[in-house]
């Protein structure tokens, strides 16, 4: 359990990771009623900097709300707990996982007013999710992204990740690094745990939110950074064909940060050029470490232990 540091926060108490157990008689385990966030804290000279903490926690509240689940803690309380968690564990940089799940009573499909809403926050060191040096190879997945006519895809709900597992699993088994999913209408949607952007000249295009796309916080960030850098940023429906003739493709996400896709379905994208992706990654790294004066409010500093 060393990777999790010494402390976790669960239901308002500080516990050791080895005590973070739950019974299999739990609603979330049987019916998938879990909601979570993925946040990163970055090392800076001013101490660990948590990137867009409040926006992540507000999304967690919204994710729960889609399913009529009310969090027993305020965003302020969760913010404080997250900062103290990093301070207590003494991490300079880490990945942070706030997690909400329904406990007992669990036997019936529908949770009741008595069903306990648990909240836990843990953190652990996390390096690069994808190597940034070479870029990755992706395939268009045979499974589609779940439609918001079936489940609210703006909710970062644990159950959505069965779809993500199918997408990613197929890609890995077929020798690729990542999957690109289409939505129910055949438009480009997103990767398994990251949003997608296409570059054509000075225009950067990303699927609009009605394409079963999570409203990624890195997506919002990169759109802003691109506009700051003089690019035109467009959100619209993107056809599959457009992937193959893009100048560049990159993925964005808290884990993935900004990662170039250099090949889709064995077709080289723009001859492997990663100019815009590299520029965005550089700007992103400045943003997450509080080096962009105009975006300092994106960063919450934790005083080093």
- What is the set of active-site residues? 156
Residues 64-83: x/- map of binding to ligand PMP (CB under 6 A)? --------------------
Nearer to ligand PMP among residue 115 and residue 187 (C-beta) = 187
CB 58, min distance to ligand PMP, A: 12
Residues between 129 and 168 that touch ligand PMP (CB under 6 A): 164
CB 214, min distance to ligand PMP, A: 4
Residues 20-49: x/- map of binding to ligand PMP (CB under 6 A)? ------------------x-----------
The label of the residue with tokens 């652990």 reads 124
253: contact with ligand PMP by CB under 6 A: yes
Give the interface size with ligand PMP as a residue count (CB under 6 A): 14
Q: Is residue 88 classed as helix, strand or coil in its secondary structure?
A: helix
Q: Choose the binding region for ligand PMP from 6-14, 109-117, 193-201, 261-269 (rule: CB under 6 A).
A: 193-201
For residue 101, give Cα distances in angstroms to 25, 121, 150: 12, 12, 21
| Residues 253, 218 contacting (CB under 8 angstroms) | yes
Q: Which among 235, 234, 233, 227 has a CA at the least distance from the CA of 283?
A: 227
The label of the residue with tokens 């968690």 reads 85
d(CA 171, CA 25): 34
For residue 292, is it left (φ>0), alpha (ψ between -120 and 50) or beta? beta
CB 151, min distance to ligand PMP, A: 12
Peptide bond into 105 cis (omega under 30): yes
d(CA 172, CA 49): 33
Q: Choose the binding region for ligand PMP from 11-19, 92-100, 130-138, 252-260 (rule: CB under 6 A).
A: 252-260
For residue 293, give Cα distances in angstroms to 167, 201, 226, 245, 299: 39, 28, 16, 36, 11
Residue from 214, 223, 225, 226 binding ligand PMP (CB under 6 A)? 214
Strand partners, 198: 205, 249
Q: Is residue 228 classed as helix, strand or coil in its secondary structure?
A: helix
Give kind and range of the element (H or E) at residue 224. helix 217-228
Two tokens, residue 184: 């129910």
CB 53, min distance to ligand PMP, A: 12
Residue from 218, 260, 274, 300 binding ligand PMP (CB under 6 A)? 218
Residue from 194, 223, 238, 249 binding ligand PMP (CB under 6 A)? 194
CB 231, min distance to ligand PMP, A: 18
Nearer to ligand PMP among residue 98 and residue 216 (C-beta) = 216
Residue from 190, 248, 257, 263 binding ligand PMP (CB under 6 A)? 190
195: contact with ligand PMP by CB under 6 A: yes
d(CA 233, CA 276): 13
Q: Choose the binding region for ligand PMP from 41-49, 191-199, 201-209, 261-269 (rule: CB under 6 A).
A: 191-199
216: contact with ligand PMP by CB under 6 A: yes
Residues near ligand PMP, by CB under 6 A: 38, 164, 190, 193-195, 214, 216-219, 252-254
């Amino acid at each position: 359990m060393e990777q999790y540091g010494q402390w976790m926060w669960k239901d308002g108490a500080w516990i050791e990771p080895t005590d973070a157990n739950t019974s299999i008689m739990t609603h979330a385990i049987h019916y998938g009623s879990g909601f979570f966030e993925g946040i990163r804290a970055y090392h800076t000279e001013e101490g660990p900097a948590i990137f867009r903490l409040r926006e992540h926690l507000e999304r967690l509240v919204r994710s729960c709300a889609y399913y009529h689940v009310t969090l027993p803690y305020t965003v302020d309380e969760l913010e404080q707990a997250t900062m103290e968690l990093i301070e207590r564990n003494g991490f300079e940089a880490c990945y942070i996982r706030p997690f909400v799940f329904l406990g007992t009573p669990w036997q019936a499909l529908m949770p009741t007013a008595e069903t306990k809403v648990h909240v836990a926050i843990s953190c652990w060191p996390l390096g690069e999710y994808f190597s940034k040096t070479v870029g990755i190879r992706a395939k268009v997945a045979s499974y589609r992204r779940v439609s918001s006519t079936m489940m609210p895809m703006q909710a970062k709900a644990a159950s959505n990740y069965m779809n993500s597992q199918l997408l990613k699993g197929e890609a890995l088994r077929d020798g690729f690094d990542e999957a690109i999913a289409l939505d129910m209408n055949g438009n480009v949607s997103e990767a398994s745990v990251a949003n997608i952007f296409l570059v054509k000249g000075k225009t950067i295009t990303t699927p609009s939110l009605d394409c079963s796309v999570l409203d990624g916080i890195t997506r919002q960030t990169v759109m802003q950074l691109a506009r700051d850098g003089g690019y035109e940023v467009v959100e619209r429906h993107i056809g599959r064909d457009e992937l193959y003739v893009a100048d560049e493709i990159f993925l964005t996400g808290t884990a993935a940060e900004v990662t170039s896709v250099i090949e889709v379905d064995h077709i080289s994208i723009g001859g492997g050029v990663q100019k815009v992706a590299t520029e965005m990654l550089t700007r992103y790294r400045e943003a997450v470490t509080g080096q962009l004066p105009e975006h300092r409010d994106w960063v919450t500093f934790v005083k080093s232990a």
